[in-house]
Amino acid sequence: RPSIVVIHVGGRDGRQEGLGTGFIVSADGLIATNRHVLGDGRPLRVETADGKSHDVKAIHAADRKLDLALLRIDGAGLKPLELGDSTTLKEGQAVMAVGNPHGLHNSVVSGVVSALRTIEDRPMIQVAIPIEPGNSGSPLLDMQGRVHGILTIKSLVTPNLGFAVAINALKPLLKKPNPVPMSAWLTIGALDREEWEVQFGAQWRQRAGHILVEGRGRGFGGRSLCLSRRRLPTLPCEISVMVRLQDESGAAGLVFYADGEDKHYGFYPSAGKLRLSRFDGPDVFTWKVLEQVDSPHYRPGEWNTLKVRLEKGRFRCFVNDHQVLESTDDVYTTGRAGLAKFRDTVAEFKRFQIAKEVPPLALSGAAVMRISKVLDEMGQNKPRAAIVERLAPEGTMGMQVLRERARQLEEQAKKLHRLAAAIHERNVLDELTGVLRGKEEDIDLLHAALLIARLDNEEVEVETYRREVERMAERIAARLPKDADDKARLAALDKYLFEERGFHGSRSDYYNRSNSYLSEVLDDREGIPITLSVLYIELGRRLGVRLEGVGLPGHFVVRHVPVKGEAQLIDVYEGGQRLSREEAEKKVRAITERPLREDDLKAVDKRTIIVRMLHNLLNVAEREKDQEGMLRYLNAILAVSPDAAPQRGMRALLRHRTGDRDGALQDVDWLLEHQPEGIDVEALREFRRLITQPEK
């Protein structure tokens, strides 16, 4: 049991996504497990039998086909298991396994070898042992404690039958590893190293336009920096970010004039106050607090906008557009800007900006007045100073009345939240239809695809991600000679996207909505065929390569259409694999169990791509029984394709089911007026009669 470990796998939202088993194969920190336990690009952590947690330093070796992997952790004096010879196993031989089924650590199960098989060219051991979630990666041991296999899959026929990969298949990986450092492995939430440089450790990651940090930095006081690689403009200029602290006892905010080592200024909230400090070295004796103030404009526990305006001879510090500090300290006048955290602070950042001038985020006074006037019309009352004294004599009855009033206000708050969501949806759909209006060649597919992500998350900064894609294209183009042909451009695109940046198809998390949000595909470098294809098409367009989308049934691909020569299908989901027609037909038949048709190979226009992306989200929402989400995606589909009769009928049913009688009637009346092909007019009329019946 001291040799058995638990492997924790992080998910796209930063929480634990999976759990598996591994075992120690060398005293200096090599761990064997299944390849599928690791997922793709996920953060990994190993928990040893003594309860200690170890960061994985590298994927020492991996083979997806054999479903084997070796992890490297920092360790000394670990207790490895002895590897046996799997060819010596006999049918009927007694075996046992130790693992973590359903998180139950070090559970032991015994059984027998029921058969020795070769499955898909893999040497497998069939065992009469139940395999449960969390057991993958468990060592299969003989009665002398030697490892003969690694549990990998359970039988679909009977619950008490499973399969293990023969341990002899692991031995070549031990002799000839193919190590991948975690800096290259991690793609989920990894910061772009060409945009950011992390100093002094801690865990910095990005998610949906946010930068999140947790863990203690290696610097004194838990200091950790995340410096932007962008240069500061000539003075005057401004640096700004929005920050939210999980606990106000922490400290996190902006740094500027950083030398890339220990020296810089910092402006940040600390224990509820706003602090301006100068850092002259690695420890507290070289740190100087220039000023610290309380400010009524700082909102504890909420998002706060920090801004520093750098001018000749001074800098000014703002919180939520209000100046709170000013300094003429001039020890440092050059360097970089970025983010910082101290102590054990958990913090989120968004909207980091460096500009000549950062526009204020607050609403104008006139806008606030207009919105407040609308809210006043909804019947909000002002509290009175003597309310307690006046109502106290009412006793229990008075409290009941107050609670009823509170319930009404809570209902009103829900209505306001729904109103805000409806306004956001309307604004996004208006922008989406505007982007998709006009000639096909003028439509900005990237912008439209990012708006789908913004539909579900109002904090998605479309322009930020558009600039990121522009930078990606510029980096690829910078490597190419001026006379590069299409073949060279595509090769450079493939190398950058798949080998260097690690973009890949989602396997273990395919139906996660994140895979349909292009913003999160860019954050996580993981997606489904259509979103990866959109990115590929848009990068190709910026490189001067003509690419078009092809909507194969169940699997979206890209086609390269050169000026001269034959067109070529490309499967972006499979890392840019080139597909022949025969391979495309085989893929379609495997997914749909029907042959490839000529129409399947036609290029699809950009509006169709956007609608297909929305349909993917609609299918996920339907699977999750999320009626609000289904309505949102149907609204978007119909905004783009108003004549989509099946979707209009589906929306009519959903609107009726969710109490939107007027909306349901509008959809039914549209269908009755236009009577699209295949519609059952009599059934629609009966549905209309049902809707219009007075409530009993």
pTM, two decimals, is: 0.75
CATH code: domain of residue 316: 2.60.120.560
CATH code: domain of residue 31: 2.40.10.120
Distance CA 516, CA 529 (A): 9
Nearest to 112 by CA among 98, 131, 93: 93
b/e code 88-112 from CB counts within 10 Å (16+ = b)? ebeeeeebbbbbbbeeebebebebe
Instruction: Indicate whether 369 pLDDT > 90.
Output: no
Task: Count the neighbouring beta carbons within 10 Å of the beta carbon of residue 81.
Answer: 19
Q: What's residue 153's pLDDT? A: 80
Has residue 191 been placed in a domain? no
Distance CA 334, CA 331 (A): 10
CATH code: domain of residue 643: 1.25.40.10
pLDDT tens per residue, range 598-635: 999 999 999 999 999 999 999 999 999 999 999 999 99
The residues, any chain, with a CB within 8 Å of residue 565's CB and separated by 6 or more, are: none
330 and 225 co-located in one domain: yes
How far is residue 515 from each of residues 500, 537, 608, 616, 667, measured CA to CA in Å? 20, 17, 18, 10, 30
193 contacts 184 by C-beta, under 8 angstroms: no
Q: What's residue 358's pLDDT? A: 93
572 and 471 co-located in one domain: yes
169 and 200 co-located in one domain: no
Has residue 669 been placed in a domain? yes
423 and 454 co-located in one domain: no
Q: Residue 206 — very low, low, confident or very high, per pLDDT cuts 50/70/90?
A: confident
Distance of CA 688 to the CA centre of its chain: 42
58 and 21 co-located in one domain: yes
490 and 636 co-located in one domain: no
pLDDT tens per residue, range 309-363: 999 999 999 999 999 999 999 999 999 999 999 999 999 999 999 999 998 865 5
Q: What's residue 385's pLDDT? A: 38
Has residue 647 been placed in a domain? yes
533 and 618 co-located in one domain: no
Distance of CA 626 to the CA centre of its chain: 20
pLDDT tens per residue, range 391-439: 556 566 656 666 777 788 788 888 888 888 889 999 999 999 999 998 9
Has residue 34 been placed in a domain? yes
616: amino acid identity, one letter: N
Output the average pLDDT for the chain: 89
Distance CA 467, CA 401 (A): 55
86 and 34 co-located in one domain: yes
Q: Which of 355, 379, 403 is where one domain is finished?
A: 355
Q: Which domain holds residue 523?
A: 440-605
The residues, any chain, with a CB within 8 Å of residue 354's CB and separated by 6 or more, are: 228, 230, 232, 233, 237, 238, 239, 337
Instruction: Indicate whether 370 pLDDT > 60.
Output: no
Instruction: Indicate whether 132 pLDDT > 90.
Output: no
169 contacts 68 by C-beta, under 8 angstroms: yes
Q: What's residue 158's pLDDT? A: 66
172 and 102 co-located in one domain: yes
User: How many Cα atoms occupy the beta-carbon half-sphere of 551 within 13 Å?
Assistant: 14
The residues, any chain, with a CB within 8 Å of residue 607's CB and separated by 6 or more, are: 436, 443, 640, 641
Q: What's residue 402's pLDDT? A: 63
346 and 376 co-located in one domain: no
Q: What's residue 390's pLDDT? A: 56
489 and 596 co-located in one domain: yes
Has residue 190 been placed in a domain? no
Q: Which of 553, 582, 605 is where one domain is finished?
A: 605
CATH code: domain of residue 476: 3.10.620
Has residue 170 been placed in a domain? yes
Percent of the chain with pLDDT over 90: 65
Q: Residue 178 — very low, low, confident or very high, per pLDDT cuts 50/70/90?
A: confident
Query: Minimum mean pLDDT among 54-68, 253-267, 646-660, 661-675: which range?
Result: 54-68
Distance CA 388, CA 402 (A): 11
Q: Which of 557, 589, 605 is where one domain is finished?
A: 605
How far is residue 82 from each of residues 79, 89, 93, 140, 179, measured CA to CA in Å? 10, 15, 18, 11, 22
> 2-16, 42-56, 117-131, 284-298 — which one is most confidently predicted on average?
284-298
pLDDT tens per residue, range 441-498: 999 999 999 999 999 999 899 998 999 999 999 999 999 999 999 999 999 999 999 9
Has residue 298 been placed in a domain? yes
347 contacts 244 by C-beta, under 8 angstroms: yes
Task: Count the neighbouring beta carbons within 10 Å of the beta carbon of residue 535.
Answer: 23
Which residue did the predictor score with more confidence, 363 or 168? 168
Has residue 73 been placed in a domain? yes
251 and 155 co-located in one domain: no
- Total domains present in the chain: 5
